[in-house]
Structure 1
Amino acid sequence: MSQRFRHAALVGKYHAQGIRDVLEDIAGFLIRQGLEVTLERDTALNTGMTDYDALSASDLGKVCDIAIVVGGDGTMLGIARQLARFGTPLVGINQGRLGFITDVTVGQFAEALAPMIAGDYEEERRTMLEGGVWRDGEVIFEGFAVNDVVVSRGATAGMVELKIDIGDEFVANLRADGLIVGSATGSTAYALSAGGPILHPGIAGWVMVPIAPHDLSNRPIVLPDSREISIEVVDGRDASVNFDMQSLASLLHGDRVVVRRSADQVRFLHPLGWSYYATLRRKLRWNAGVA
């Protein structure tokens, strides 16, 4: 059942030009709608907005019942990963071109937010990835990702060789520039640029996409998200792994990157009438030939 919200976290792409004025406008609007407003700490520090309380992301998740994120999809990914464990719903307001997950324009924020605050909205939940890097039987790195986990070669090195297991079954040895394991959300990001398929968020699965593979028979594949994926570095120098914005460089031979479905999900709220297909149509220009 939809709810009326009471306490909003406000998060901004604080290094963007003109962001303070936009955040001030949105904060003022939320207060006039009867909400309490708290800024994310880095947003407050970097914009100089001192008229509002400021908290870390983890503390925002404990006290706020909605998060308004102003920026692009990258800004949304950063905070979504931190708030997912609290179940905090997120609304994305985009300053520039509409994103895949930040779909309210700055110029229409009041029109869009007013009914959403009152409980009239579309909600969707997106699956996250989690995992880590194992070395000599110990976990040396852990991370979460809304978009993808990417194992890639070093900047100046040649290809990497990767051994891929899914569950208890050996699947492939791959020589390539790298490998992407992407969620449905991430299927329209790096994985799409690398030739992967678009995965509807209603499907419980991952996309696994080789990056510039040596053998053209190494193709993208859609996998169920119920199995753990293990990616072992067999050969190649200076390989790295990236869980969204969290990176570990200089993987060693024998290191295993393990990826699985997270127990947490991200909650995105959209204005009534929002459509996933309309988002794809707009972003990918699928209606370019329509008069």
Structure 2
Amino acid sequence: MLSPSSNSIKKAFRRVALVGKYQADGMQERLNDLAKLLSEQGCEVFIEAATASHLGLTARPIKTIEQFTGAIDLAVVLGGDGTILGIGRQLAGSGVPLVGINMGRLGYMTDIPIQQVQTILPQIIAGDYEADTRTLLDAVVLRKQQEINRALALNDVVVNRSGISGMVELAVRVNGSFMYNQRSDGLIVSTPTGSTAYALSAGGPILHPRVAGLLLVPIAPHALSNRPIVLPEDIVVNIEVVEGKEVIVNFDMQSQTHLQAGDIIQVCQSDKTITLLHPCGHSDYKTLREKLHWNEYPSTF
């Protein structure tokens, strides 16, 4: 979930929507504090409809995510990376950038600590920020050549078995060319953003988002010769379920479809993107050191 810098023209933001992980303790108070802070910066503040409904926030105007396009300049998301994933998929292609504020552990995408929001957020609102564009995956599930589901994924599309079933056998084709049959616990198709998520846990490499491509990572393969591979960005991956019980395909681990033998999951890079904003001076490598517990460099550097 690394973030490259963007050379796009920077702008200040006036119409700002707040989105919150409404299950979190103290969310109502924190959102009210954020709304007050943004109002003091001269912003017109809106509350995302589901957030407002669950928290009973009625003092500010409300907009559904579908109403953001053309009416909202910036979405401020208070929660964690999971919250960003869900909102990011819904806003993909809208042109509305996102800022992530975390309430606890440092996230890869929600990189503004709540303790520093009073200082950092006004700077971003004024146009002092770094931006990066993230690609998504477009996945289609086919059964007997009929589409039964379609979904976007910002991190990954994962075909895997249930916890109590045996291995699954998958046939993988790239642009129609047969790659391999694989017996394993599953297969991950990841964006560069998702390379620091499940794909990393399964032994995949970390990809910088400027490395244009898709990452395929087997999950506990039966043959050790089945290794992660980075594929070009303009390919189409077809994953056919040859054999397996209780096989599931997950999209960012937030939605899923149950599969049958013969089903095909077709994955390609989406033409939709999202834009994340970070504080100036944001360092991807500092985030990796803190998240992955890499040794800090000497203070003499």
Scaled to the shorter chain, the TM-score interval is over 0.9
Corresponding residue number in structure 1 for 2:186: 178
CA deviation after TM superposition for structure 1 residue 290, in Å: 4.9
Determine whether 1:41 maps to 2:49. yes
CA deviation after TM superposition for structure 1 residue 49, in Å: 1.2
Determine whether 1:142 maps to 2:150. yes
Partner residue of 2:81 out of 73, 78, 81: 73
CA deviation after TM superposition for structure 1 residue 168, in Å: 2.1
Gapped runs of 5+ residues in structure 2? Answer: 1-8
Determine whether 1:279 maps to 2:287. yes
Instruction: Give a deviation string over 1:201-226, Cα, whole Å, max 9, x none.
Output: 11101111111111111111111121
Partners of 1:103 and 1:66 lie apart in 2 by: 16
Amino acid at match of 2:276: F
CA deviation after TM superposition for structure 1 residue 286, in Å: 1.4
CA deviation after TM superposition for structure 1 residue 243, in Å: 1.2
Partner residue of 2:69 out of 46, 61, 64: 61
Instruction: Give a deviation string over 1:151-187, Cα, whole Å, max 9, x none.
Output: 0112321010000001121101000010000111100
Partner residue of 1:188 out of 185, 192, 196: 196
Determine whether 1:224 maps to 2:232. yes
Contact 2:68 2:96 in 1 (8 A): no
| 3-state SS of 2:225 partner | coil
Corresponding residue number in structure 2 for 1:4: 12
Overall identity of the aligned pairs, in %? 50
Higher mean alpha-carbon deviation, 173-182 vs 278-287, is at: 278-287
| 3-state SS of 1:99 partner | coil
Determine whether 1:246 maps to 2:237. no
Partners of 2:268 and 2:242 lie apart in 1 by: 21
Instruction: Give a deviation string over 1:113-140, Cα, whole Å, max 9, x none.
Output: 1111111110000110012101111111
Q: Which residues of 2 match residues 102-113 of structure 1 at below 5 A?
A: 102-113=110-121
Instruction: Give a deviation string over 1:63-110, Cα, whole Å, max 9, x none.
Output: 111000000000011001111120110000000011000000101112
Runs of 4+ in 1 over 4 A off after TM superposition: 288-291
TM-score (normalizing by structure 2): 0.94
TM-score (normalizing by structure 1): 0.97
Corresponding residue number in structure 2 for 1:29: 37
CA deviation after TM superposition for structure 1 residue 48, in Å: 1.5
Corresponding residue number in structure 2 for 1:97: 105
Amino acid at match of 1:248: T
Partner residue of 2:160 out of 139, 148, 152: 152
Partners of 1:48 and 1:287 lie apart in 2 by: 45
Determine whether 1:121 maps to 2:129. yes
Amino acid at match of 2:54: N
CA deviation after TM superposition for structure 1 residue 289, in Å: 7.5
State the Cα RMSD in Å. 1.2
Partners of 2:39 and 2:122 lie apart in 1 by: 11
